[in-house]
């Protein structure tokens, strides 16, 4: 009774400030009357701080802020709950599926939701939702941007096969620490599907391997067609240089089946393709890729 009375008093006191809120909304200050610890934790967190700097339409605030609407953006209109506190007249996220709990996120982050559906639709089909990877904002995140687990552990729970590849003799890692998945993969936004490296051609790889970026006068055509993963395995490989095959000759012969007759493949000299065709990524001087 005392809490409902306090909420009602706060609602009356705040009435002049609520004109800009949707019908049935009471504003964060009214919610904080009863849920002061939760509201303070949210305000002090990164989500609350970001919302305090933005206006109701996620624009630089001329007046008011998104923070006024923060509670009800996720939990729904609070007028009925303020007048009669009950779990039945407010959206409680306790026990809700992450898909249902994420409905509040989508209200503000529609662009990220749309990008997720386009770029990583495997996540969409598997029912992966915002709060499977992010925290709601009441608790401190394990890492930014508001991640539920450390960046290095965020993807490994589902992507066990790719995680195991980082333990192979040759892998994308620094010492014993694998590169972060998000160094190469973009989960939100973008125009390519799944955020996988082959969808972007070689652009993901040459961001680090700038010496391979070109352009070359005589490019190696498979690079333009399949990107780097036509020859390399991105996460890890038992083969040197992350090659898809144990030897370069095996790799080259997958495309170059019409080798000249004088290339006697029974002789080791002709099985070491890159001994002569050294410019495998493209050459500035030689169409047969003999020279860089």
Could you tell me if 167 and 204 lie in one domain?
Answer: no
pLDDT in tens, 158-177: 899 999 999 999 999 988 88
DSSP for residue 254: T
Distance CA 83, CA 65 (A): 24
Q: Which of 183, 213, 233 is the last residue of a domain?
A: 183
Is there a single domain that holds both residue 70 and residue 125? no
Is 189 within a domain? no
Q: Assess if residue 188 is contained within a domain.
A: no
- Residue 159 is assigned to a structural domain of this protein: yes
Most distant pair of Cα atoms in the chain: their distance: 95
Cα torsion 20, 69, 144, 133 to 10°: value is -130
**Is residue 226 domain-shared with residue 260, that is, in the same domain?**
yes
> 160 and 213 share a domain?
no
Residue 90 in domain:
no
Q: Among 123, 151, 183, where does a domain finish?
A: 183
In this structure, are 263 and 203 located in the same domain? yes
Tokens representing residue 78 in the block: 């609070």
**Total of domains in the chain:** 3
**Between the CA of residue 255 and those of 116, 163, 259, what are the distances in Å?**
35, 30, 10
Per-residue pLDDT band for 16 (boundaries 50, 70, 90) equals very low
Q: Which two tokens stand for residue 121?
A: 């639709």
Instruction: Write the pLDDT tens digit of every residue in 75-122.
Output: 889 999 999 888 888 887 776 677 777 777 877 787 777 767 666 777
Last residue of a domain, one of 183, 214, 242: 183
| Inside any domain, residue 191 | no
**45 and 104 housed in the same domain:** no
- pTM, full prediction: 0.70
* pLDDT tens readout for residues 211-248: 888 788 998 888 877 788 889 998 999 999 999 999 88
Shared-domain flag, residues 10 and 79: yes
Read off the pLDDT of each residue in 259-278 and give the average, rounded to a whole number.
Answer: 86
Domain that holds residue 34: 2-83
């Amino acid at each position: 009774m005392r809490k409902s009375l306090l909420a009602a008093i706060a609602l009356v006191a705040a009435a002049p400030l609520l004109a800009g809120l949707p019908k049935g909304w009471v504003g964060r200050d009214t919610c904080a009357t009863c849920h002061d610890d939760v509201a303070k934790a949210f305000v002090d967190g990164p989500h609350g701080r970001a919302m305090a700097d933005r206006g109701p339409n996620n624009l630089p605030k001329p007046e008011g802020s998104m923070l006024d609407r923060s509670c009800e953006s996720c939990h729904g209109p609070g007028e009925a709950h303020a007048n009669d506190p009950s779990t039945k007249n407010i959206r409680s996220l306790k026990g809700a599926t992450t898909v249902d709990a994420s409905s509040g996120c989508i209200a503000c982050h529609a662009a990220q939701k749309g990008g997720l559906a386009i770029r990583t639709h495997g996540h969409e089909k598997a029912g992966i939702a915002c709060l499977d990877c992010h925290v709601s904002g009441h608790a401190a995140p394990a890492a930014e941007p508001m991640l539920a687990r450390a960046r290095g552990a965020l993807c490994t729970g589902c992507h066990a096969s790719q995680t195991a590849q980082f333990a192979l003799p040759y892998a994308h890692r620094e010492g014993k620490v694998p590169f972060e998945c998000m160094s190469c993969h973009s989960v939100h936004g973008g125009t390519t599907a799944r955020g996988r490296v082959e969808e972007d051609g070689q652009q993901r790889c040459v961001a680090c391997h700038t010496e391979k970026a070109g352009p070359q006068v005589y490019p190696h055509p498979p690079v333009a067609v399949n990107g780097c993963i036509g020859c390399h395995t991105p996460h890890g490989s038992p083969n040197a240089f992350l090659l898809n095959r144990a030897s370069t000759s095996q790799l080259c012969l997958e495309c170059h089946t019409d080798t000249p007759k004088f290339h006697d493949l029974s002789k080791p000299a002709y099985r070491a393709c890159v001994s002569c065709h050294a410019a495998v990524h493209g050459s500035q001087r030689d169409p047969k890729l003999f020279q860089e």
